[in-house]
Amino acid sequence: MMDKLRKNMKKVMWVITVLFIGGLFFWFGTGAGDHNTVARAGRTRIEYRTYQQRITQHINRMRQELEEDLTDAQLIEARHEVLSSMINQELRYQEASRIGITVPDQEVIETIRGLPQFQEDNVFNFQLYRQALRFSMNMTPEEFEDLIKRDLAIRKLERHILSSVRVTEPELKLRYRSKHGSLAGFEDKRRELENQLLQEKRTALYGHWARELHRRYQVEVNPEVAGLQ
């Protein structure tokens, strides 16, 4: 259920950011330094090098899935998706930091050691880890560990946001009665209905929170550098 919810939350954030970017493009600054900046999300610049690295990884995955070269329209869409994702990640990480969420280094280490793609015979292999980062992901260990740290912080933030969501008995009975006309068979469907309502309420809450997040932090995008023109 949580995996499905996380997919829904990612979709919500992506839609909100695409709408946000579509209406608020800025070409900021005239200095040479700005030509290396794709966007500003809150207090952080998204640099062209990092953005291009993510674009390459995303496009390679798309080519493997489609088993063909991408059209110009698909390339533009891929850039939108990557930039939206990077902005979302940065805003959520800044919000996690703002409310005091921290991730100890040991938690990052344990998470990485538990990833199956870096294991042989269920044991973490440091050499395999370094090779995978270098040749498959084109990242340094420090860059990857920072990504993991951010992801863990964001997961904690999401759990914090959603922890207050509850489904009450009156809500369950009202939903069931509105659909079936009576409470006959209610107990048999209670768990399924409760999960459904819980997911709906969490998705709605997360969508509201995401919109507020974009209002709280300033986002500026350089569409020329981002390749969106």
CA 184 to chain centre: 41
Average pLDDT over every residue of 30-53: 80
Higher-pLDDT residue of 154 and 3 is: 154
CA 103 to chain centre: 17
Q: Into how many domains does the chain fold?
A: 1
Q: Is the pLDDT of residue 30 over 60?
A: no
- Mean pLDDT is lowest, of 50-54, 136-140, 169-173, 200-204, for 136-140
**Residue 136's domain spans which residues?**
2-226
Average pLDDT over every residue of 1-17: 49
Q: Which single residue is written with the structure tokens 């919109």?
A: 211
Contact 2, 199 (CB under 8 A): no
For the chain, give the mean pLDDT: 84
pLDDT attached to residue 96: 96
Average pLDDT over every residue of 22-36: 47
Q: Is the pLDDT of residue 24 over 60?
A: no
- Residues 99-111: pLDDT tens digits? 999 999 999 999 9
pLDDT attached to residue 17: 45
Most confident option among 18-32, 131-145, 178-192: 178-192
- Mean pLDDT is lowest, of 3-17, 124-138, 169-183, 210-224, for 3-17
pTM strictly above 0.85: no
- Residues 55-65: pLDDT tens digits? 988 888 888 88
Average pLDDT over every residue of 88-114: 95
Region label for 217, one of left (φ > 0), alpha (ψ between -120 and 50) or beta (otherwise): beta
Q: Which of the four pLDDT bands, split at 50, 70 and 90, describes residue 19? A: very low
Q: Which of the four pLDDT bands, split at 50, 70 and 90, describes residue 34? A: low
Torsion sign over Cα 69, 75, 61, 130? positive
DSSP symbol at 70: P
Element (H, E) at 40: strand 37-41
Could you tell me the CATH number of the domain that includes residue 86? 1.10.4030.10
Q: What percent of the chain has pLDDT over 90?
A: 55
Q: Is the pLDDT of residue 218 over 80?
A: yes
Average pLDDT over every residue of 132-153: 91
